[in-house]
Amino acid sequence: MGKPLIYEIMEKPATSCMIGIFSAIWFYIQKKGIGYSHVGLSYETAVEGHWWRIITSAFSHISVLHLVFNMSALWSLGVVEQLGHIGLGVKYYLHYSLVLVVLSGLLVLGMYHFLILRFKIEYFRRVTAVGYSCVVFGWMTILAVKQPSSKLDLFGFLSLPISFAPFESLIFTSIIVPQASFLGHLSGIIIGYAIGWGLIHGMNNYWAFSMLLWIVIIFVLSLKKSGAFDINFLEIEPVTDPSLPSVRFLASGNGRTLHMSTLPIAGAEMV
């Protein structure tokens, strides 16, 4: 007989919180009638400056089957939080989940770019990716490298040897769910191996916070630039040198502004 659910939740705090967040986002998406085109990531939208979609696409699920599959796999992969004795643990899990979200999104865009320009496959210009699968596949791969004797339990009855799980799941999802993003899953596996083999390493609280800060800045600025949402408190306008931006935060109601600008230093050259 297994442990009571409350104990498993306490042993996997980060995973439990993430599953709760994903489920809440799915419920909101269903309630508001939001579709792939609103939150998904595609080459075409990235070229238009919608970089915020790297984040929204990862955290959104449209199909309930997609959500259940990903959350079931994520729950099983939450064992990473309990493996602090081999260099993993909660901090490692959170740090590299952030890395997986960003790098797998960028890698899949790079794959689209290569296929479009090199092989003229225009299909990949508009194909839209959505879901946390790239990160799930990344963690399958990391665990396969770090703990090859583990097993991955899906849906409570399907158990796969973790060493083969990334590619078994890649084939399984491609057959069962033809709309699944093969390249998106593959990008997660590639980044997962890069992390597992130590090619990407050195993440700590400082670098994680710095990365998160840049993600927030780029997210907000790309939202503003793309015009997807009206962000009234942030305005970008040219100054004396049009290559240098000025950021102005507007306080609503009292008419006061805080104006921040950067001016060229005398004698300095921009190369």
Cβ contact 137:192 at 8 Å: yes
* Whole-number Å distance between alpha carbons of 232 and 61: 28
Catalytic residue, chosen from 16, 60, 72, 133, is 133
User: Closest Cα to residue 15, out of 93, 131, 98?
Assistant: 93
Is 61 among the catalytic positions?
Answer: no
User: What is the CB neighbour count within 10 angstroms for residue 85?
Assistant: 7
3-state secondary structure of 178: coil
10 Å CB burial of residue 7 (0-12, 13-18, 19+) is exposed
3-state secondary structure of 67: helix
User: Closest Cα to residue 140, out of 91, 182, 94, 190?
Assistant: 190
Antiparallel, parallel or unpaired: β 245-250 and 151-154: unpaired
* Whole-number Å distance between alpha carbons of 70 and 154: 9
Is 95 among the catalytic positions?
Answer: no
User: Closest Cα to residue 114, out of 54, 179, 186, 170?
Assistant: 186
Could you give the angle at the alpha carbon of 152 between the alpha carbons of 200 and 195, nearest 5°? 0
Catalytic residue, chosen from 16, 185, 187, 222, is 185
59-80 in b/e form (b: 16+ CB < 10 A) is bbbbeeebbebbbbbbbbbbbb
Catalytic residue numbers, as ranges: 133, 185
